[in-house]
Structures are given as structure tokens and as C-alpha cells.
Structure 1
């Protein structure tokens, strides 16, 4: 028919509307239906339709519970119960407590303080040991070797004695005008040999002690390198021995600067 006068179809998607099986009243024939149990009985029953007050009352329990003729419940014991007789002939709690007023039994020691050894060892009787005033008690504690740190890198030791690597060493002491032998001291362009530095540190003849504190101990590289008059160098000592010497000097400088 035209212009929308067709009657409504009785079949929707190939099934009847009234007889279509739906969950939860019906069950599906697949894995979901095996685990989900459909609702049986009256599906439209509300929560207020149950008689909980009547089924859970004390009167209902007594009426439904099986009882015997003697008044006992089902499967209950009917023999006479034995009365509990309290025991009174037991010791009091303070019987087990130790008598603190009793005199303890003491044993006579065979030696004072149970020690039979020599009181003063033979080594302590010698007079060649240093006395208490020999040691320095006012020295700096918790001394640590100075290390160079970097973020994400390894720590490296800061050498106490700086090594000057040059083909020829032309440094001269400003006081004695001689070329230093061994370790010497340098501050910018001021150079002092070890003997002149120690003399001025003690007597402050030419340089004051605060100014001498800025000097750093340096060393010529002739013991570890061989230049031969050129800037190239040939290593004479292994790196492990050099690092071992630097660690030893850094530790000893904490006590003998």
C-alpha cells in the first residue's frame, strides 16, 4: 500500500516479538550460557515480597526445629551433667616467688677478683716507653685525602706535588740563586728551594709566613720522563708506580706537610 498505510509487521528480524528468548529468563546455548544461570521461578518478584520477619523469627525456628519428648533438641545428649567442683587446696601465687630476704650462699674466691695472673705485665714496667705527654692530642682529626669529583665520572686524586714537564728546567731560587735539587716551592714566578723555604718559614727573614702558605711544592719530571732536549717524552716509570707514589705522598702530607 502507498503513503504509509501498511500494517505493522508481525515478524521483526525474522523472529516473533512475543516468543523471543531473552536473558535472564532463558539461557543461551553457548559458553556464556554455561556460566550464567537463568532466573527460575517468578522473575518480576521484588525485594519486599519476601516474608523475612516471619521466616527468621524465634517462634518459627522453634516450630520448625525437630524436638524430642523430653524437651531436648535433635541429636542432643540426655545424660546428667557433672557439676564442676572448684579446687581450693592449691598453693598461692607468692609460693613460687623467690625469697628476696634470704641470705645468698657465697663462694670464697681463691684470688682477688678470681684473677690469678700478674697484675702489671712485664712490658709495662719498662721505662723506655713514651709517656702520655709524648703524643700530640691537639692535632686535627678525621683527615682525608683531597679528591677531584665530577658528575657521572670517576674521582681522581689531586697530587700534592705538582710535576713540571719541560725539556730543560731553568728554574732558580730567588734567594740563593741556585738551581733547586729535588722538590722545591713555586708561587706564580717566585721560586724557592727547599732549604730557603724552610729557613724563611722558621725565621721569616725575606718572606712572611702567610705569604709562604701560598707556595706549592713542585717537582721536575726528570725522574719519570726523558725529553732529550725536545718536547717529546719517553716514559721511564710505569703509571701504576706513579699513582702509588702520589697516593702515598697525599696520605703522608696530612701529617707532615
Structure 2
């Protein structure tokens, strides 16, 4: 369980503080799939990095299973949009990286890595290097590497954002299959309403900067979801209406910034 209580994040900017996140309060149950959705610059990735322990909050508290978060930990793993694979390592060595850092034996590392590569459909590519792989295959390796350390919380920062539509849909289904199999809690950042509706149990819609939680929308339709159904259509219109207000406000803020700097 993740509990975020009164979390703020401010950055210093030439002597003036800039607020990125304001009064974030959220409770995420074990095994939930949560999507963070909001306009560009609203602090979605910042919130994810705070949960990961990569950057500190300015104010507020956050805990995972009752323990305060004060830095990175083995209970969390991050999957980034740009894959972040080591180009000089083979696919298998990339998946084994976190296990090696934790002192696992070569035999254990090999068994875990090969098992996960089979899970993500890349068993035949274990000895290849990242430059031999497509974007979708690289992201499968990133997911396998994240799962290798057996985190309770999987944090995903627009992992499919750079992929073509067909590959993206395939990996969405793969991710849901892996989520069901490994029973992880997932926090997933996206710009796509359709992706959030297809994947998540709840969608956390954030405001234009500074980022606040505007609304949390439950998606209770059974999986696999038919995005053309009447129920999903209603949900899509609801989410689009809530998010559209903030996209418009973000555009107004950007225009005001440009005029102020002119």
C-alpha cells in the first residue's frame, strides 16, 4: 500500500521558488493499477520520481507498506520511456544488472533472467545487444529488468510513448498479462486517455501547474476492455471533459509566460 499525504514539491529558480506539486493526497492499494494523467508539465513524472525515491519532496509524507520513503529501495523499480538499457551489455546481462548489484549468484541471475525473458517473449534474444532490437523489444527488456529484482511497486514513466500504435497496443496487453501474473502494484504515467482507460483500475487526473489532484476516476469495466462499448465511451467523455479543462488552462499559462517574457 502506498500512502501520499500532503506532498508538495518546489524547485528553486534564480532565488524564487517554483511549485511543481501542491498538496498531493493519494492512497493506492496493494495490487492496484493506477494511471497518472494530466497536461504536459503538471508534475506527473515528478510525482513518480518522488515515489521512486529519486528526488525528495519539499513537504509532506509518503510511505510504502507503513515505511517512510527517504530514497530508492528494493521494493520499487522504474521503467522509463527511453528504455535506459546499457548498450554494451547483452539483453540477458541487462536483465541481470539489478540482481548482480544485490549479490545474487551467477546461477540465480541466469535462471531469473532467462525465466523473465521467456515471459516477455525474448528468450531467443538473450545474447543479442540492444541495438539489434526494435523499440518494443527494448521496452520488453526494460520491463523484464524491472521485474527481475521482484519489486512490490512498478513505476512506469510513459513507457510506450515513443512506440508506434500497433506495438503500443501489443505491449499494453503484455503488461496487463504480466501485472496479473506477478501481482504487482503499478503506477503508470501517460498522456493518453485511451491508454489510461484500457489499463487502469483508477485514473488520477492532475491539474495544470502547479500539479494537484483534480479528480480520481474509477474504471470498473471488466478486462479485457472493449474500448468501443457504450460504458467505455461514457468514461472516455468524462475523462476527456475533466482533462480538457486543464489542457486549456495549461495553454493559457504558457501563453501568459510567453507574453511576460516578450
Q: What band does the TM-score fall into relative to the shorter chain? A: under 0.3
Larger RCO (alpha carbons 8 Å, 6+ apart): 2
User: Normalized per residue, which structure has more strand?
Assistant: 2
TM-score for the superposition, normalised by structure 1? 0.20
Structure ID, larger Rg: 1
User: Normalized per residue, which structure has more helix?
Assistant: 2
